[in-house]
Amino acid sequence: MGAPAGADGLITVPTHPVGAGLFDEAGPQLRVVAQYAVGYDNVDVGRVAAARGVVVTNTPGVLTRATAELALALILALLRRVVEGDRRLRRGEPWAWAPTFLHGEGLEGKTLGIVGYGCIGRELARLAEALGMRVVHGLPLR
């Protein structure tokens, strides 16, 4: 990924490194690197951007709800045996009704432990509590 010479700003993605070479290609007028993601581990913020006076931005919070919902979806899939049922169907295995066949369990009354109670952990807790779960958590990882 090359930077256009003379760019005042760059929009970057986390899959491409943003270091001295890219800053050099853009030129000394570069003022902002806008990361199209939550994190910016791929951007050399301390050594390169700060030294050149380039502001680096990101999009915090943009995936908080989605990540919490996906975590909850995985919990539901585990408790309700969704993957097991899907695999049985795809293999064409016999499917005979029985009162407890692939019944699984519900969320109501279960306890969810959350390690790291940051933005995503708090959102997951909110969703889990709305579905009747008890939530226990540790301190924020900050």
Report pLDDT digits (tens) over 6-24. Answer: 999 999 999 999 999 999 9
**pTM for this prediction:** 0.73
Domain spans in the chain, listed from the N-terminal domain onward: 9-57, 64-137
The gap between the terminal CA atoms of the chain, to the nearest Å, is 33
Instruction: Return the pLDDT at 139.
Output: 67
What is d(CA 45, CA 53) in angstroms, rounded to the nearest whole number?
10
Contact by Cβ (8 Å): 18, 44: yes
Partners of residue 10 on adjacent β-strands = 33
What is d(CA 6, CA 51) in angstroms, rounded to the nearest whole number?
19
Report pLDDT digits (tens) over 61-106. Answer: 999 999 999 999 999 999 999 999 999 999 999 888 899 899 999 9
Q: Average pLDDT of 121-139? A: 94
Apex CA 117: angle with CA 116 and CA 118, to 5°? 100
Question: Which CATH number is 64-137 given?
Answer: 3.40.50.720
Residue 1 has pLDDT above 70, yes or no: no
The fraction of the chain above a pLDDT of 90, given in percent, is 80
Amino acid making up residue 92: G
Q: How many CB atoms lie within 10 A of CB 57?
A: 14
Partners of residue 35 on adjacent β-strands = 12
The fraction of the chain above a pLDDT of 70, given in percent, is 96
Contact by Cβ (8 Å): 14, 41: yes
Apex CA 57: angle with CA 55 and CA 59, to 5°? 175
The distance of Cα 44 from the centroid of its chain, to the nearest Å, equals 21
Residue 3 has pLDDT above 80, yes or no: no
142 band by pLDDT with thresholds 50, 70 and 90: low
9-57 and 64-137 in the same fold:
yes
Fold of 9-57: Rossmann fold (3.40.50)
